[in-house]
Amino acid sequence: MASGSVSVAADPWPEFLARYALPGFLGTALIGVGAFGVGWLPLETVVHGWPLVDVLRDTSAGLVLSRLMIFVGVAILLQTWLVVGYDLMSGRRWDSLRIAALVGLWSLPLLFTPPLFSRDVYSYFGQGRLLLEGFDPYTTGVAVLPGWFTFGADPMWGETPTPYGPFFLLLARGVAAFSGDQAYLGAIAFRLVALVGLALMVWAVPVLARQHGISQAKALWLSVANPLVIMHFVAGAHNDALMTGLLLAGLAVAGRGYALWGAGIVGVAASVKPIALLALPFVGLIRAGTVATFARRVGNWVAVTVAAGLAFAATSLLTGTGLGWVSSLSAPGEVKTWLSPPTALGMIIGGLLQALGVTETNDAAVTVCRVIGLTASLLIVAYLCLRPQGRSAVRGCALAFGAVVLLGPVIQPWYLLWVLPLFAVTGLTEGQLRLTILLTAAFAVHGMAESSATADTLFELTDLVAIAFALAIVALILLASPRERRLVLKDPGSHGLHPDSPEERRRAQESVIVV
């Protein structure tokens, strides 16, 4: 319970659902309907023949209405999430089951809607078809497939080999075999795969939170009921959901005393997206215990690496793709995005050099800044592994992922969701919590502005109009209500995530590495 707050008995279930689940459900229902107007659809799909879809997609009024529904829906979802958070921090006694119920009910209207905020899911579908057709996705892009463009894959990635691990390719092949030539059906199937990852998150976050003396309901609210999870893991159907769920499950299992099994699960997570391998040294620290010599830690690092390697190798053998994934890890770095600090700095410096006539492009400056960022992130990770004293292994893992994301060559809004659960389960100060809420709101604005697959026919004054409108809506949500203002701005009581009771403080202290 937050300092200065008063414990309040849990609401009866009907009242709880009416007060918190229904508004969020309404918000995601609006998002889902809007997705049929401006979401990503293949060029050839039976959905195009539906009267509602034709009206929303083929008329100017329908396009404006669709995007407006998404804006309002995201705003309602964000506002509902803030209300839940404020009431939690003010002393509502809810267990994690209630927050899990909110996640499920808020996700329900989006199960069968077109993908939003990204069309990566159609690239997944194309990569599955590559395997079915006998191609190696690690050396071949989806553009070799007849009619690949009609599947909805982004042409930017048409020639690019897949950056995903063999286990995910195995799933993609299964989805492609099940869906045939129906890419939209494949997108729905991938969303169900993402929901498996979401379910693992719902299980693992309370386990990890309890191990660190943090309120399970608060950690689940912040990191899994978060609007960005609904927007990108559910509506966007990103495979990051499965990777993150497996990663958290591996850490939770390791924390329960089964570190080698946990390492194996992390190996499977890395077989979805190889970035999950970053967690392995910290699984080794969990296995070594809070008091261990350096030699003992090295032995445990070797043990967990072998366990994860066996799991990864098994998926590679089943897929038949070998080690091709290694050469494709640089594929996401081909994108230049202002969200990445090193890339943004490189583009600024490169732009200045171009203006001075020193260089013709900003490529060299971007490359140098990215190399510096990557080197710095690796040094930080090495320090966190070699000097783990004073923090838990999971907290070290959170800091390592945070460094890699922040200093990486590319940041996508859903990358925040790799890191957020790890910080939530190990505790946040009041200021860190406010920053997390503001980042959530900022990335929600980014998603709202990028929500339309038909933006070039919607706002002729560029997406600045959409961004300004989205900012106005979110600012209104954050500042209009006293409860939201108190949660986002300075409040007399502490609203951080930290151990409250003596028992919780004991568990938190027991998780900290001493020697």
Residue 118 domain flag: yes
Q: Which domain, by its residues, includes 394?
A: 336-409
Whether residues 388 and 500 fall in one domain = no
Which of 409, 424, 455 represents a domain boundary (last residue)?
A: 409
Which of 384, 409, 434 represents a domain boundary (last residue)?
A: 409
Residue 299 domain flag: yes
Whether residues 46 and 59 fall in one domain = yes
Residue 8 domain flag: no
pLDDT band, very low/low/confident/very high, at 173 (cuts 50, 70, 90): very high
Lowest mean pLDDT among 7-16, 42-51, 269-278, 386-395: 7-16
Whether residues 166 and 233 fall in one domain = yes
How far is CA 30 from each of CA 73, 153, 416, 458, rounded to the nearest angstrom?
5, 25, 25, 18
pLDDT band, very low/low/confident/very high, at 397 (cuts 50, 70, 90): very high
Identify the residue whose tokens are 């379910």.
Answer: 199
pLDDT for 152 beyond 80: no
Q: What is the mean pLDDT of residues 445-454?
A: 71
Whether residues 238 and 377 fall in one domain = no
- 3-state SS of 282-302 is HHHHHHHCCCCCHHHHHHHHH
pLDDT at position 337, please? 73
Which of 350, 381, 409 represents a domain boundary (last residue)?
A: 409
| Identity of the residue numbered 472 | A
Whether residues 141 and 217 fall in one domain = yes
Share of the chain above pLDDT 90, in %: 48
pLDDT band, very low/low/confident/very high, at 275 (cuts 50, 70, 90): very high
DSSP 362-427: SHHHHHHHHHHHHHHHHHHHHHHHH--TTSBHHHHHHHHHHHHHHTSS---GGGHHHHHHHHHHH-
pLDDT for 321 beyond 80: no
Which neighbouring-strand residues pair with 308?
Answer: none
Whether residues 222 and 265 fall in one domain = yes
**Cα–chain center distance at 405:** 12
Whether residues 357 and 219 fall in one domain = no
Whether residues 41 and 169 fall in one domain = yes
pLDDT at position 200, please? 97
Share of the chain above pLDDT 70, in %: 87
Residue 2 domain flag: no
Whether residues 18 and 49 fall in one domain = yes
Count of structural domains within the chain: 2
Cβ–Cβ < 8 Å for 390, 513: yes
pLDDT at position 2, please? 44
For residue 93, the tally of other CB atoms under 10 A from its CB is 13
